[in-house]
Chain A
Amino acid sequence: MNAALSIDGLEVVFDRFRALKGVSLEVKSGESFGLVGESGSGKSTLLRAIAGLAPAVSGTIAVNGKRLGTRRDKAFYREVQMVFQDPYGSLHPRQTVDRLLQEPLAIHGFADSEKRIQRALDEVGLGTGFRFRYSHQLSGGQRQRVAIARALILEPSILLLDEPTSALDASVQAEVLNLLEEIRRRRKLTFLMVSHDLAIITHMCERLMVMQDGEAVENLTAAQLVGHRVTKDYTRNLLRASDGFVRTA
């Protein structure tokens, strides 16, 4: 299989702070790839740099074999979309769900927007009853579904997921993860997913990369992580931390 996304030596600097220090990564088409690490390890920055929201100073990013410049064109946005971490902040407060979903279609000049909005809402399990609601009339899980519908409405092949469930409570988390998994299988999407929750990553992803301080620590498969067959101390600590607090007495 060919690479949907390949990143080589990517470096991101914010005001002299090196958030990413030469990260390389290859995600195969149709694969679900996880990024794990503690807060500030640069995993969200990596996603944002791919999306063009963080300034890359050096390194290359290629999507489906096509190298990206500093400016992203419209064709890029039809290939790559992103779901943000906080569903309370990622929906415009003054727009109805209908307006939110209409916008990408209007920007890219789709004619059959009526049908597409209908379908997008059905796909994420929201009926048409939600179509004319404002975001403040929705729960966190519903909002995240709308955000997913918005990301999918342009029919991208790659979806960047920035901790899509960390702002939701446990039962809703499972629903949204199952929804994402189901959509990925149906549409044969490529996922690049950030999470600090190792359980979610092992559940959702086949391969993953552990990050620390803006650098890649190691690449693993989900099976290796589950079997604790890791080589680096940092990953071992991360695993121990994710097991939770163990009472020793």
Chain B
Amino acid sequence: MSVEAIQSRRDWLLSERPASRMQARLGRAYVAWRRFSANRLAFLGLLIIIALLVVAALADVLAPYSPTFGDLKGSRLLAPSAAHWFGTDDLGRDILSRVIFGSRWTLYVVILVAIIAAPIGLLVGTVAGYAGGWIDAILMRITDIFLAFPKLILALAFVAALGPGIENAVLAIAITSWPPYARIARAETLTVRNSDYIKAVQLMGASPFRIVLRHIMPLCISSLIIRVTLDMAGIILTAAGLGFLGLGAQPPLPEWGAMIASGRRFVLDQWWVAGAPGFAILIVSLGFNLLGDGLRDALDPRSGDQ
């Protein structure tokens, strides 16, 4: 594309007089993107997350060996080498392959928790904040009850009741992670519910349901996205923690936390068995944190002229 073509496209996006709904929306997204990509560290975070997605999608192609079958006779606990970049574990399985396939489980946990917890928190918080009165009191006391439980302990109890397994770990994490989202959404709702633009919508005869869904929720979503992204690292760590305690993913699933747990026994002599998945958790958590910080700068309505 020529320089002029790029320039004219940019002008189109940044136009002060958009000619269509689409142009206005794209222009807005472009402004947010420019602010986001100006932040180098946030961009690095995004690259890490994209890399994670690519690795998870192409695990079958990228992994040099099977993640679940190893050579028990000839390749137990081999140190990192050209054949096995991250070495092998006690069952002779290639750790690189296991880390690569483990990315799928990490993403699975993170995405599932996010799509369960965030909407619940958003709904509870906005309804409580907008309705006020006894609805608010009841919803927020329920939230307080959930907040009062220690996260990992409640997850432990939940998994103990339902049986170990990655699905139950996800449910347990989701149940314990929505209350902060409800709090954020409620706080945000309280700041806008008495504003004139909400009064104006009330004056048009909009139902409370419509006001919450179409006018209040969009205002809460950006701070929620930021918070969820920042929480992703914690979710990964909790999932890994449950895996480590043997209550999350069960063998032979290549889940990173469970891998660390099984490498614990030889962590002094064969450090790579626990080290490789630990490092993977570190990198991905860092990626989500950097991304979250960048999103906060790009999306936060309090910064700049959003």
A interface with B by C-beta (< 8 Å): 51-53, 72-74, 76-78, 81-82, 84-86, 89-94, 96, 98, 103-104, 107-108, 129-130, 132-134, 136-137, 147, 150, 154
20 A-B residue pairs with Cβ-Cβ distance under 8 Å, sorted by A, are: A52-B202, A52-B203, A74-B205, A81-B203, A84-B196, A84-B200, A85-B196, A89-B195, A90-B196, A104-B205, A107-B206, A108-B205, A129-B19, A130-B17, A132-B17, A132-B18, A133-B17, A133-B24, A137-B16, A147-B200
For A96, what are the chain B residues with a Cβ–Cβ distance below 8 Å?
A: 18, 21, 24
Q: Is B218 an interface residue (CB 8 A)?
A: yes
For A76, what are the chain B residues with a Cβ–Cβ distance below 8 Å?
A: 205
> Nearest CB to that of B200 among chain A residues?
A90
**Chain A proximity of B195: nearest CB distance (Å):** 6
**Complex-state Cα separation, A78 to B197, whole angstroms:** 18
| A-B interface, 9 closest residue pairs, ranked by CB to CB distance from nearest | A77-B205, A90-B196, A132-B18, A132-B24, A104-B204, A129-B17, A89-B196, A74-B205, A92-B197
> Nearest CB to that of A137 among chain B residues?
B16
For B215, what are the chain A residues with a Cβ–Cβ distance below 8 Å?
A: 92
For A81, what are the chain B residues with a Cβ–Cβ distance below 8 Å?
A: 203
**Chain A proximity of B118: nearest CB distance (Å):** 18
Residues A103 and B196 in contact in the complex (CB < 8 Å), given A96-B21, A98-B21, A132-B18:
no
> Nearest CB to that of A76 among chain B residues?
B205
**B205 touching A107, Cβ below 8 Å:** yes
For A74, what are the chain B residues with a Cβ–Cβ distance below 8 Å?
A: 205
Within 8 A of A (CB), among B180-210: 195-197, 199-206, 210
Residues A53 and B18 in contact in the complex (CB < 8 Å), given A77-B205, A93-B306, A107-B204:
no
> Nearest CB to that of B301 among chain A residues?
A93
**Chain A proximity of B114: nearest CB distance (Å):** 22
**A94 touching B219, Cβ below 8 Å:** yes
**Complex-state Cα separation, A183 to B206, whole angstroms:** 25
> Residue-by-residue, is B1-33 near A (CB-CB < 8 Å gives 1, otherwise 0)?
000000000000000111111011000100000
**A136 touching B21, Cβ below 8 Å:** no
**Chain A proximity of B121: nearest CB distance (Å):** 20
For A86, what are the chain B residues with a Cβ–Cβ distance below 8 Å?
A: 196
Residues A107 and B199 in contact in the complex (CB < 8 Å), given A94-B218, A133-B18:
no
Q: Is B305 an interface residue (CB 8 A)?
A: yes
**A77 touching B203, Cβ below 8 Å:** yes
**Chain A proximity of B90: nearest CB distance (Å):** 55
For B204, what are the chain A residues with a Cβ–Cβ distance below 8 Å?
A: 77, 103-104, 107-108, 150, 154
**Complex-state Cα separation, A82 to B218, whole angstroms:** 24
**Complex-state Cα separation, A73 to B214, whole angstroms:** 20
**A107 touching B210, Cβ below 8 Å:** yes
> Nearest CB to that of A78 among chain B residues?
B205
For B218, what are the chain A residues with a Cβ–Cβ distance below 8 Å?
A: 94
**B199 touching A132, Cβ below 8 Å:** no
**Complex-state Cα separation, A36 to B186, whole angstroms:** 38
**A53 touching B199, Cβ below 8 Å:** yes
**B203 touching A82, Cβ below 8 Å:** yes
Given known contacts A89-B196, A98-B24, what 20 new A-B pairs fall within 8 Å (CB)? A51-B203, A52-B202, A76-B205, A77-B203, A81-B203, A82-B203, A86-B196, A94-B218, A96-B18, A103-B201, A103-B204, A107-B204, A107-B205, A108-B205, A132-B23, A132-B24, A133-B16, A133-B17, A136-B306, A147-B200
CB < 8 Å: which of B24, B206, B305, B306 contacts A103? Answer: B206
**Complex-state Cα separation, A172 to B28, whole angstroms:** 28
> Nearest CB to that of B20 among chain A residues?
A132
**B197 touching A90, Cβ below 8 Å:** yes
**Complex-state Cα separation, A104 to B214, whole angstroms:** 13
**Complex-state Cα separation, A90 to B202, whole angstroms:** 12
**B197 touching A91, Cβ below 8 Å:** yes
Residues A84 and B210 in contact in the complex (CB < 8 Å), given A130-B17, A136-B305:
no
**Chain A proximity of B130: nearest CB distance (Å):** 15
**Complex-state Cα separation, A85 to B215, whole angstroms:** 20
**Chain B proximity of A32: nearest CB distance (Å):** 20
**Complex-state Cα separation, A57 to B105, whole angstroms:** 59
For A84, what are the chain B residues with a Cβ–Cβ distance below 8 Å?
A: 196, 199-200
Residues A93 and B206 in contact in the complex (CB < 8 Å), given A133-B18, A137-B16:
no
**Chain A proximity of B210: nearest CB distance (Å):** 7
